[in-house]
Amino acid sequence: MPRRALLRNIVVLAVALPAAAFALIMVGELVPDRLVAESLFDAAQAGQLDTNSYPPGLIASQVDGFTDCIGLTIGLGDLPGRNIVSSAIAGQTLWQCEDAVPALEAWATGDGALERQTDYFRYWHGYSAFLRPSIAFLGLPATRVLVMAALGLALFGLARSVARVHGRAVATVLLAPFVLTSDFVDLPYALPHAFGVLGGLTTAWVANAVAARNVRPWPVIAVSATSGAAVVVFDLLNSAPGLWSLCSFVVAAAAARRQVGWTLFGTTALAAGSWIVGYAWTWGVKWLISIPVFGFERVRDTVDYTVNNRLTTETGELDLTFGETIRRNVVFWRDQPMTGWVVVATVVVVAVVWWRRRRRPGLVVRGLDRSIVAATVVIVLVWYEVLRNHSQTHTFFTYRALPLAFGILAAAAVLPMRRIRSDVADSGGPPALATEFGADHVEGA
């Protein structure tokens, strides 16, 4: 693609991603607040929503009900004079469960108005486009079931896509640790977390399918930046490092089927860089469009607070020395019920695959290329060390990036890499792949 066309496409993408995010939130704002509030009140009366902001989960030691209540009540409590546009930007919410549930009860019994506790404009809330209509018309329990089904579908789609490109062994060791040793099954009880993971899995699925056919610069930029934007629109800084690493890995693994050395490194770096640019740019646009509603000084102060509080602001419970944040997250993941068993089983699978392939013609070690693909896990470690405050304060969910990182290392180890002839290796699509791999390029082992 000519450079001018590439730049034009990037500009269009930079406009389209935040515009699509805002359009989604506007759709959610069309649902009347009364219907959402009535449904949430019914859920509270039935014991499906209470004032406990950190209840125990089915698997997790605690669920982030604090964030769940923010997501459930986002958009409720409009101030007089706000229209649908300013309300979509403001993200007003009834806040944590201790505040939200009594506010809903007071409103339903006529003892108080439905007043917002705070404006949560520092984050996108794209999940409201789905939560508000689902809660209003289907109820909270059905919404949680639908979200769990969507997570299962996205996980299955990604696993099947990876298996078709690289084989079942790669798909298994990549995703099984995340499902079995994280709070995956508890995600519907913290819906903003669930939507962040859902966005990351779905866009990684798309990225794998696209990269399997074409790893030229523009497709890599487009799918990676879209994935980063999707995570920031649906997530609240909860699952970003693992999903960033996952998307970068599937692009790098696909590129390794037809690229080697510096070319593979360049594609991997382009994927990782495009993801974080899409993430940061889309988040930055949210702050920019908040200025007309809240004024420059308030937005600036909120951004300063958010950045400082998530990076290195130290409190009495934090130890911000280098490596401590990684250690705490590793310890938390290690202590999950199935972590030890899954780690051992994954190592066994990797060993068996290597043993079965040791004499297969055409399969080679390609250690440098495997290292490049596996290096996408460094994203998780760097994230922990940069966002030390956030990653220590919220260890009970930030640890979920580690099983994804472990799965990536295992998947990189069992990728069915073949020797690539210099006369067909390139940065592009199917012709070189078909010439080199033939019809049996999918490894079923």
DSSP string covering 281-333, please?
HHHHHHHHHHHHHH-HHHHHHHHHHHHHHHHT---TT---STTHHHHHHHHHH
251 neighbors 404 (Cβ within 8 angstroms): no
d(Cα 51, Cα 32) in Å, to the nearest integer?
A: 24
Question: Which two three-digit tokens encode residue 380?
Answer: 């998780």
Question: Which two three-digit tokens encode residue 72?
Answer: 């459930």
**Which of 37, 71, 70, 66 shows the shortest CA–CA distance to 52?**
66
Q: Pick out the chain residues at pLDDT < 50.
A: 424, 427, 430-445
Q: Determine the pLDDT at residue 113.
A: 85
**Which of 158, 258, 246, 277 shows the shortest CA–CA distance to 216?**
258
d(Cα 305, Cα 328) in Å, to the nearest integer?
A: 24
228 neighbors 196 (Cβ within 8 angstroms): no
d(Cα 183, Cα 400) in Å, to the nearest integer?
A: 7
Q: What share of the chain is helix, strand, coil (3-state, %, to 5)?
A: 70, 0, 25
Residue 119 DSSP class: E
In this structure, which amino acid lies at residue 364?
A: V
149 neighbors 44 (Cβ within 8 angstroms): no
120 neighbors 74 (Cβ within 8 angstroms): yes
**Which of 235, 56, 24, 209 shows the shortest CA–CA distance to 133?**
24
Q: List Cβ neighbours of 305 (8 Å cut-off, separation of 6 or more).
A: none
d(Cα 412, Cα 406) in Å, to the nearest integer?
A: 10
Half-sphere exposure for 49 (CA within 13 Å, toward CB): 36
pLDDT tens digits, one per residue of 169-178:
999 999 999 9
Q: List Cβ neighbours of 322 (8 Å cut-off, separation of 6 or more).
A: 385
Give the helix/strand (H/E) hosting 33.
helix 33-45
In this structure, which amino acid lies at residue 202?
A: T
First to last CA, the chain: 37
Question: Which two three-digit tokens encode residue 284?
Answer: 């930055």
d(Cα 405, Cα 277) in Å, to the nearest integer?
A: 21
